[in-house]
Amino acid sequence: MMEAKIPVWTVTQLNEAIKDLLENTFLPVCVLGEISGLTIHRSGHVYLTLKDEHAQIRAVYFNGASKCTELELHSGIQVEAYGRIAFYAPRGECQLTLREIKLLGTGSLQQKFEEMKKRLAAEGLFDSDRKKPLPFVPRCIGIITSPEGAAIKDFIKVALKRFPPLRFRVFPAPVQGKGAEQLLAQGVRFFNRYHCADVILITRGGGSLEDLWPFNEEVLARAVAESSLPVVSAVGHEIDTTICDLVADRRAPTPTAAAEVLLPDFQEMREDTELLLQRLRNAAELTWQRAQNRLDRLRSAKALMRPVQMLQERMQSIDYTVKDMENLLFRAAQEQEHRLLRLNDKLQTLNPVRILNRGYAVLLDNRGKAVTLPSQIPAGSEATAILAHGRVRMESKGEVKP
């Protein structure tokens, strides 16, 4: 018995057959799901993913931009989507072609995000006063991300362009999927434990709310909040905001922007340094020129002489000063001596002993007081006569009448 021959298909033929089967078999459907990865193209078409707890399906809403804007649709919103099953043959993807969307309410992930955001904010994890400043020029940046992702490549490309001397260390960690948050938090603790970087960068490219969910987990938020090193979070695109962004010391809207946040422009720094050095040279040259001009003026005025000559003149000036002081002291001593002689002559003139030498005497009563009247020594009382050479005691006979 011969086996039936299996037909050979090209990829295009197979996809076209699947497309015909799906689109002609399924009737229009209404799908309940949560929006994820919503993108409004500039053409006006809307691309998104509908998901629940176990599965997801891509969808396209042609010319649905105005409707999505009107409903303020975003990731995490639950909707009822009406459309048909379609198969995009060029990529081999099954998708929904939508013709109507209705709101149902907030999706579970978005609700969980809001609840955690509110709780951590109440604890003060988002407060600005706990944010640490970034180093002006980090010597080494610790990067926590997937080594194979586009985020690290974009960051390194821009970072090395801005600051070629940069050094960095990479802690490899998955950036999506279950358990990724544990390894991301482990990376933060690693750099804090070994202090092998000056600042930490946590980064990944864009994605849906589900893809970015590890960066909304509490274990990572706690690790970032407890970090002694400053942490920069650059997760997703500019429109994406995660719990990690809110807790981090600084948020960068994209991995590329993180390079601008973390690093100064090396070329601008070099130009500024050259400008400052030139100003310093100009100031030094001006100071030197002023000093030279002053030196020339002093030389022209003969105010500056050789050191030996200056020393000799100083010594001679000291000798003259000492001589002048000696002369002043000598003249002062002479004047004092002359004054002393004059006072001595005056004293000798007033000396009563000189009067006694001429034959005079001083008469004292018995109390030792000088006698100037006869009545001071009545008859019978004793008196003492002081002569130039000795004393004489005598007895008064009374007053003698002339």
Residue whose token pair is 């799906």: 22
* 389 to 89, 154, 367: CA distances (angstroms): 162, 132, 21
Q: Tens of pLDDT along 260-311?
A: 899 888 777 777 788 888 888 888 888 888 888 887 777 666 555 566 677 7
Q: For residues 281 and 359, which has the higher predicted lDDT (pLDDT)?
A: 281
The token duo for 101 is 């969307």
| Cβ-proximal residues to 60 (8 Å cutoff; 6+ apart), any chain | 45, 46, 47, 48, 86, 95, 96, 97, 98
**Residue range 67-114, pLDDT digits in tens:** 888 888 888 888 889 999 888 888 888 989 999 888 875 556 777 888
Contact assessment for residue 207 and residue 37, using Cβ atoms and an 8 Å cutoff: yes
Residues 86 and 51: beta-carbon distance below 8 Å: no
Which burial class, exposed, middle or buried, applies to 54 when counting CB atoms under 10 A from its CB (0-12, 13-18, 19+)?
A: exposed
Q: Assess whether pLDDT exceeds 90 at residue 252.
A: yes
Q: What gap in Å lies between CA 59 and CA 84, rounded to an integer?
A: 10
Q: What would the two tokens of residue 179 be? A: 């358990």
Domain boundaries, the chain: 11-106, 112-126+137-264, 354-395
| Angle (nearest 5°) at CA 212 between 210 and 213 | 65
Pair 286, 278: CB distance under 8 Å:
no
CATH of the domain spanning 112-126+137-264: 3.40.50.280
pLDDT level of residue 251 (50, 70, 90 thresholds):
very high
- Asked whether 305 and 311 are in contact (CB, 8 A), the reply is no
Tell me, what's the pLDDT at 108? 66
What count of Cα atoms within 13 Å lies in the side-chain half-sphere of residue 79? 26
Q: Which of the residue ranges 155-159, 288-292, 364-368 would you say has the lowest mean pLDDT?
A: 364-368
Which of these CATH numbers, 3.40.50.970, 3.40.50.300, 2.60.40.1080, 2.40.50.140, describes 11-106? 2.40.50.140
Q: Which residues pair with 165 in a beta bridge?
A: none
